[in-house]
Amino acid sequence: LGLSGPPGAGKSTFIECFGKMLTERKHKVSVLAVDPSSSTSGGSLLGDKTRMTELSRDMNAYIRPSPTSGRLGGVTRTTNEAILLCEGGGYDVVLVETVGVGQSEFAVADMVDMFVLLLPPAGGDELQGIKRGIIEMADLVAINKADGDLVVAARRIQAEYVSAMKLLRKRSRVWRPKV
């Protein structure tokens, strides 16, 4: 499962909750979290693992943060190989969290069975995602943080994306992307 979305969409929080649910159901979960690298120093914070404190202590979960090292597309040069290694190591669910900063970070879509775009309900110009790119690659669009005062905004953006996705060309004869 590949996951992308803008900063603040809740990708790491979603992965931790979803990962814990999966391990409680006896799945072995691997998380490959990709962080951006500095164009100045080349370094990367690799902070996703620290935001997944419960999942990082779970014996049925493995979290591997990796820097982009300047590679575009939202993943690292070796993400595809890392997915195969995790599968070979007995992890039956592999979650790949991309850098997720824009409309061209969808290289992971060709590496996974399902590509999920996480969106916050109040991110500004909601229909920005309709530009050809990341939205047309998504198999599922999940409006995250859709509780409390944001319920109305979440329902509105859901309706906008449902309408907008009808305008996109189908990628598959058997699956229609859901919002």
Q: What is the pLDDT of residues 38-60, one digit of tens each?
A: 555 555 555 666 789 999 999 99
Mean pLDDT of the chain: 83
The whole-number pLDDT of residue 99 equals 77
Q: What is the pLDDT of residues 74-119, one digit of tens each?
A: 677 788 999 999 999 999 999 999 876 555 566 888 889 999 999 8
Structure tokens at 114: 């399902």
Architecture of domain 2-167: 3-Layer(aba) Sandwich (3.40)
Q: Which carries the bigger pLDDT value, residue 122 or residue 14?
A: 14
**Whole-model pTM?**
0.85
The whole-number pLDDT of residue 130 equals 44
Beta bridge partners of 116: 3, 140
Only one residue has tokens 């040069």, namely 77
- Tell me the domain boundaries of the chain: 2-167
What is the rounded average pLDDT of the residues 117-142?
73
Separation of CA 14 from chain center:
9
Contacts of 30 (CB under 8 A, 6+ apart): 61, 62, 63, 64, 86, 89, 91, 93, 94, 95
Contacts of 124 (CB under 8 A, 6+ apart): none
